[in-house]
Structure 1
């Protein structure tokens, strides 16, 4: 596997080529995960002045880490630089940055007092959108003094007070985004909403029906919605080209795809499709919901 330096955290990491994008795997921007950067944007970012890099690269690194930590698929281009710089959600004050650390611990905790290990703490000041390790250490000590957290080495725990504050900031724990692609000329949307989507949500996903994710064209999917998804369910009933497109794009981005088709349409699918994928063939949506739930919990 090829290696390349991540511009935003300065780590040398494996990359995977996906069309026009390079996928950086396991750097400090996305520990245990990855993010994608347009190939042509790498040199543009690299050519920025030192002062811009010093100011913006830690923020971009923090942006990537927070989004990937929330189970979002992160794809960047040079055009995103100005957008990220002016995001109102970027924390500025020490208090706001401390809240980001509380939210990170909350996402990885089951209850107050649950231990969370932050590996490579010296490379993790992007957790608080800090420009350096010294600021992160100051934020940690401040949260300890405020009795929001406890710390032993690289192990952190939210106190009850810290848990309550993080819960108020974060709301309910984030469900992973899931796109449901249907040909609604041939599939009953309401039945899917009533019987299939609740079962997917039980498995930790936030399902979005395809007609809520349309782009500007007459039947185009919103590409960003697909790239932000952690799972795509593609129902091939009706053989919709848009469903094939969305599922194909998801596969190219290494997003898992569950293929389904109603039994009456299974014979209409291209024969070579079954050589590569094995769709769940269903007669009724209750049966389909059972199959999808078993797949997600197996």
Structure 2
């Protein structure tokens, strides 16, 4: 008898209502069991539930706000709301955690997070947003130290930690998302729970691995100035059950794309 498998996807969709056609395409082509979305940019009552139901996704956990931010987790398998942390202590909708409730998936926790971008100046004194980003990670780090369940945390972390996670390490060292202080802060978060970076377990450095390409780049594919801002990290025991990981770069070429592409991890549970 084979072990049941579970596939989980994460995608910063940059407005779920605007980009529902490509979400439908992705779900039709890839059919993950669980999809974690960031930057849905709508309130909970505006979320396109019926469009997801039509594709077989009948379980929802949505934490939205008007016009900005917002996260949502939709699933084919039963889930329940598990956590809603306010990592900035300012009321922004940037986190939703769910528990998978069917026996086959052993009460696995999936945390879906959208970390602030942090503005343009990598200095806390000159840029309040950068300080908020670092504080966000510090609160997550304190939380990670207490995690005692098999947990997957996914989302837009807005940090590309490794040299091979960016198109030019030297040129981006002073650019927010790849600065040494952000990389160090992210590493402390990783160490607090011993998270395993599933993406890099399957696409080992120094192999190129990007998940975001700026809209400002006229030909994203030719220029390929990407960064790995999106991540899927797991508790050690859960990470050992990850059997495949995919980066769907082609979605960056779809009509009216997000500037991020989806990541999918498959688990044998």
**TM-score bucket (shorter structure):** under 0.3
Q: TM-score, normalising length from structure 2?
A: 0.26
TM-score (norm 1): 0.24
More helix by share: 1
Structure with the bigger RCO (C-alpha within 8 Å, sep 6+) is: 2
Higher strand share: 2
